[in-house]
Amino acid sequence: MSLKQKLDGLKNDPVKYQYVVLSNTTLGSFMAFLNTSILIIALPAIFRGIGLAPLAPGNVGYLLWTLVGFQVASAVLVVTFGRLGDIVGRVRLYNLGFLVFTVAAIALAFVPGKGGAGAIQIVILRVIQGVGGAFIFANSTAILTDVFPSNRRGAALGINQVAGLAGAFIGLIVGGVLADINWRFVFWISVPFGLIGTVWAYFMLKDESPRLKAKVDLTGGVLFALSLVLILIAITYGVQPHGAQTMSWGSTPVLGELGLGLLLLVVFFVYESKTNHPMLNPKLFLNRAFSAGALSNLLASIGRGGLQFMLILWLQGIWLPLHGYRFDQTPLWAGIYMVPLTVGFLVSGPLSGYLSDRFGARYFSTLGMIVASISFISLVLLPVNFAYPFFAMIIFLNGVGFGLFAAPNTSAVMSSVKPTDRGAASGVMATFTNTGQVLSIGIFFSLMITGLASTLPQSLYSGLLSNGVPGSVALRLSHVPPVASIFAAFLGFNPLKLLIGPSAHSIAPAKLVHIYGQKFFPSLISAPFKHGLVIAFSVAVALCVIAAVISWLRGGGRPVHMDQTVTMPDEIQIEPTGVQ
């Protein structure tokens, strides 16, 4: 039998084709998560590679946009691309996403610029990569839902999401290793997966989903994109200093962007409720299973996204230096010490997906958020300089909680809409996930900076003064915005070594060695950081509790495992999976 005949056999056998789809969408999920986590860990090497000083004015913006550019582009476009997939076919857009993502990854590996110019080039290419990611995210879940029956859908989605977390786990480790060799390898690592996925999708996936007979809602797409871009830009710049203020939330540009973005979002929903061919039919949100799943997904994404950044700051800025790791070693070891978080998700994700196919999503999604909230409470109670086994158990528990929640919740949402709305539903879920991650940066960093700003200046001033730093220098350093110190630690630099700079000659050599040492800055910042951490994680607890309540209110019962579409009032169609 020839290779072509074998491949045709895979495509034409309904059961075997399910695994063809699962393998390709799993590869896409793995690649996207690998790309995100590897970048977080490798940012110090990337910044050093292009010669960008972490504490220079304006460079915090480059760092933020390097991190969130991908998510912003994806969040803005996934709903439009999801609805477009309903109309023109999901597979062709999914294939295009793989191609765009891969080409952008190759271009990132060849970025020629240095300093700010190099950072801008990276940000632009990350946004383009996010466009490719939007094509993938908007259609992959819908494609999986199309080919897997409702009694196996949760398990398939669980495997898909576990592959993503496996990519995140591998990215944390591989990112640190590759960054030490050459920062460009960080982008090259995604290329083989992108090429394989592009070819595999082109030759093996077939578009058999029902097409929605509707026009493309360009006006709705533009309104939604503009509103979300303005809101996310405001959030990104809100955490940066403005004049004498530690953050920019009260500045005219940020308030203007946020206000206009919210206004356009209201206009978008009013327009969508009146047009004959909406990009996102507001009536979908009248479906309790859909609206509860989508909203709880947004809240969970905010909590999960904030957790990742807070843990990295905690490990890199305080715990690892206190335990003898050099600042330039901390990015790699932070990834290693966060492995239990990923393991928790890997353990619970597939199991909860499989069990939710039998017993419904309600119990597992609700329990997941309760477990996550308990883990956040435990982190609040943990001392800053903790014993690692306790920390490992807590973040493992956190991974278990989010793993219990993810697949059942997604399966319930996708099963609650008719086949011709699956692209739009997948787009909403991806939008809420990516938007939640960007919101988490704004919310958690703002809370952390608020906590630091109330205690760090005095702590920094007193600590420097008592170690022989001249009063004028200590006063100047105590007024440096907290966000600068946070991001320096995040990038694997000792902030004090960078901040003192030319003033070092005025400090006794023995005192300078102590100040530049591994433990001085982490010890100095521990109490202020704990203050900010308590505020941030208390909000995370509240988000998870609200998500648990919403998940429970979705209704439920045992699925009846039927895939026929039935007509419901007000043109809302759901599949009777037992999820009400």
pLDDT values of the chain reduced to their tens digit, one per residue, 580 residues: 666 666 666 667 777 888 888 888 888 888 877 877 777 777 777 887 888 766 665 677 777 788 778 878 887 888 788 878 878 888 888 889 889 999 999 999 898 888 888 888 999 999 999 899 888 888 887 888 788 887 777 777 777 777 776 777 677 777 777 777 788 888 888 888 888 888 888 888 877 666 767 677 788 888 888 888 888 788 877 877 776 677 778 888 888 988 998 999 899 888 888 888 777 777 778 888 888 888 998 898 888 877 877 888 888 878 988 888 887 777 778 878 988 988 888 888 778 877 887 887 888 889 999 999 999 999 999 998 999 999 999 999 999 998 888 888 888 888 888 877 777 777 778 778 777 877 887 788 788 777 777 777 888 888 888 888 888 888 887 877 777 777 776 666 677 777 777 777 788 888 888 888 778 888 888 888 888 888 888 989 999 999 999 988 876 644 333 344 333 333 333 333 333 3
**Cα separation, 575 vs 233, whole angstroms:** 38
Instruction: Give the largest CA-CA distance in the chain.
Output: 83
**Cα separation, 564 vs 258, whole angstroms:** 43
DSSP, collapsed to helix, strand or coil, labels residue 68 as helix
Same domain, 294 and 340: yes
Q: Is residue 498 part of a domain?
A: no
Give the contacts of 536 (CB within 8 A, at least 6 positions apart): 306, 310, 444, 447, 448, 451
The partner residues of 245 in beta bridges, in order of sequence, read 242
Same domain, 140 and 40: yes
**pTM for this predicted structure:** 0.78
Same domain, 255 and 319: no
Same domain, 289 and 225: no
Last residue of a domain, one of 254, 276, 298: 276
The first and second tokens of residue 109, run together, are 């590996």
Residue 28 C-beta-side C-alpha neighbours within 13 Å: 34
DSSP, collapsed to helix, strand or coil, labels residue 46 as helix
Question: Which CATH number fits the domain that encloses residue 445?
Answer: 1.20.1250.20
Same domain, 373 and 297: yes
**Buried/exposed code over 162-189 (b: 16+ C-beta within 10 A; e: otherwise):** bbbbbbbbbbbbbbbebbeeebbbbbeb
Q: Is residue 467 part of a domain?
A: no
**Domain membership of residue 33 as a residue range:** 3-217+277-453+527-573
Q: How far is CA 498 from CA 61, 485, 495, in A?
A: 18, 10, 5
Q: Is residue 492 part of a domain?
A: no
Give the contacts of 558 (CB within 8 A, at least 6 positions apart): 358, 359, 360, 578
Q: Is residue 517 part of a domain?
A: no
Same domain, 16 and 96: yes
3-state SS, 186-227, equals HHHCHHHHHHHHHHHHHHHCCCCCCCCCCCCCHHHHHHHHHH
Last residue of a domain, one of 242, 276, 310: 276
Instruction: Give the model's pLDDT for residue 424.
Output: 74
Same domain, 237 and 199: no
Instruction: Give the model's pLDDT for residue 491.
Output: 67
Domain count within the chain: 2
Q: Is residue 128 part of a domain?
A: yes
Last residue of a domain, one of 276, 294, 310: 276
Same domain, 252 and 111: no
The first and second tokens of residue 410, run together, are 């997604």
Same domain, 210 and 222: no
Q: Is residue 153 part of a domain?
A: yes
Sign of dihedral through CA atoms 483, 303, 540, 404?
Answer: negative
Q: What single letter denotes the amino acid at residue 552?
A: W
Instruction: Give the model's pLDDT for residue 577.
Output: 35
Q: Is residue 390 part of a domain?
A: yes
Cβ proximity of 145 and 153 under 8 Å: yes
Give the contacts of 164 (CB within 8 A, at least 6 positions apart): 29, 30, 32, 33
Q: Is residue 486 part of a domain?
A: no
Same domain, 223 and 191: no
Q: Any idea what DSSP says for residue 548?
A: H
Cβ proximity of 577 and 559 under 8 Å: yes
Same domain, 197 and 268: no
The first and second tokens of residue 113, run together, are 């610029």
Same domain, 189 and 255: no
375: nearest Cα among 537, 515, 531: 537
